[in-house]
């Protein structure tokens, strides 16, 4: 099969969809690979590295799209990229159609593109790609939060997450014990923080105690416990997917005001 790897076009997206090791495996399995020049640069892979394992370097996106049967990307397609897609082409990419523009969807339908969204790939009742993204999100939430606790952040009060001899560590409250929350709790606990995890699923909370540590406090979620958590936290990590109509019950006006002094990293679980 002819597979195309275009360069990502959004500024924040520094990844490349397939690394040279992956290209190598595909070439050895008999596929032909087209890589847009510079596609790997932001990920520190040169054209040369792709060429060595057998990729064909092409010099603009149009060529990648035209010569390939299948396009492998990372970021959801911009309208301009959708226009480059060929009729009946296969597309592997994050799509985020639920929050996407209407005419992107219409164009995909019209071109009869077979579009496979990473975020919807299922295997054994799990979403393996989202799982990995969530693991990273949980760890990064703590890493970013740690930075904001420092004295060089405008909100920070010079708190060292793990404390030192004679100085207590930060209190980190994690709302949600899914994959993001689990990884955030583990990262914060391993840094020496005092961690409290709030969720309304007892099984998830038990897993925190069994798989990370008995020394993480787990708390059944209700407006009282969440309010107390918000007040107590030096760092508050939101790891639940809040749906509009649910919020008012859990996070009141007053709590949001209180939260101004803390950090609110709302992420997807």
Q: How far is CA 84 from CA 55, 166, 193, in A?
A: 21, 61, 49
8 Å CB contact between 62 and 84: yes
Instruction: Tell which one of 143, 231, 258, 264 touches a second copy (CB under 8 A).
Output: 143
For position 196 contacting a second copy by CB under 8 A, the verdict is yes
**258 is a site residue for a second copy (CB under 8 A):** no
By CB under 8 A, residue 56 contacts a second copy: no
Using CB under 8 A as the binding rule, whether residue 3 contacts a second copy is answered as no
Residue 54 interacts with a second copy (CB under 8 A): yes or no: no
C-alpha distances out from residue 205 to 3, 179, 194, 208, Å: 44, 12, 16, 5
Distance CA(233)–CA(171), nearest Å, equals 5
Among 78, 103, 213, 241, binds a second copy (CB under 8 A): 213
Interacting stretch for a second copy, rule CB under 8 A, among 31-39, 60-68, 160-168, 238-246?
160-168
The correct pick among 9, 249, 254, 256 for binding a second copy (CB under 8 A) is 249
- In the chain, what is the straight-line distance between the N-terminal and C-terminal CA atoms, in Å? 35
Closer to a second copy at the Cβ: 37 or 209?
209
Residue placing its CB nearer to a second copy in the complex, 16 or 113: 16
Which of 2, 28, 52, 112 is close enough to bind a second copy by CB under 8 A? 28
140 lines the binding site for a second copy (CB under 8 A): yes
Strand order in the sheet with 264-266: 217-220, 194-199, 171-175, 235-238, 264-266
Query: Looking only at residues 120 through 139 of this chain, which bind a second copy when binding is defined by CB under 8 A?
Result: 124, 126, 128, 131-132, 135-136, 139
**10 part of the interface to a second copy, by CB under 8 A:** no
The residue range among 75-83, 91-99, 104-112, 215-223 that interacts with a second copy, by the rule CB under 8 A, is 215-223
Binding flag, residue 147, a second copy (CB under 8 A): yes
Q: Which residues bind a second copy (CB under 8 A)?
A: 14-15, 20-22, 24-25, 28, 42-44, 124, 126, 128, 131-132, 135-136, 139-140, 143, 146-147, 150-151, 157-158, 160-169, 186-187, 189-192, 194, 196, 202-203, 205-206, 208-211, 213-215, 217-220, 222-225, 249
């Amino acid at each position: 099969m002819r597979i195309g790897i275009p360069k990502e076009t959004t500024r924040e997206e520094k990844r490349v969809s397939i690394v040279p090791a992956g290209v190598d495996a595909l070439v050895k399995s008999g596929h032909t690979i087209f890589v847009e020049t510079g596609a790997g640069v932001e990920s520190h892979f040169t054209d040369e590295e792709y060429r060595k394992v057998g990729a064909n370097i092409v010099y603009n996106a149009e060529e990648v799209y035209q010569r390939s049967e299948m396009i492998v990307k990372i970021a959801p397609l911009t309208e301009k990229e959708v226009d480059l897609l060929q009729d009946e082409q296969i597309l592997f990419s994050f799509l985020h159609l639920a929050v996407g523009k209407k005419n992107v969807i219409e164009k995909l339908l019209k071109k009869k593109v077979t579009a496979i969204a990473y975020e919807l790939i299922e295997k054994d009742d799990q979403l393996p790609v989202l799982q990995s993204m969530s693991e990273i999100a949980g760890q990064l939430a703590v890493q970013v939060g740690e930075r904001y606790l420092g004295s060089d952040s405008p909100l920070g009060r010079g708190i060292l997450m793990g404390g030192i001899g004679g100085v207590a560590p930060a209190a980190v409250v994690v709302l949600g014990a899914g994959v993001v929350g689990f990884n955030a709790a583990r990262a914060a606990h391993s840094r020496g923080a005092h961690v409290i995890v709030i969720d309304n699923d007892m099984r998830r909370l038990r897993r925190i105690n069994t798989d990370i540590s008995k020394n993480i406090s787990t708390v059944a979620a209700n407006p009282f416990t969440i309010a107390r958590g918000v007040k107590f936290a030096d760092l508050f990590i939101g790891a639940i997917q809040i749906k509009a109509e649910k919020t008012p019950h859990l996070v009141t006006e007053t709590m949001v005001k209180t939260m101004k002094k803390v950090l609110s990293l709302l992420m997807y679980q």
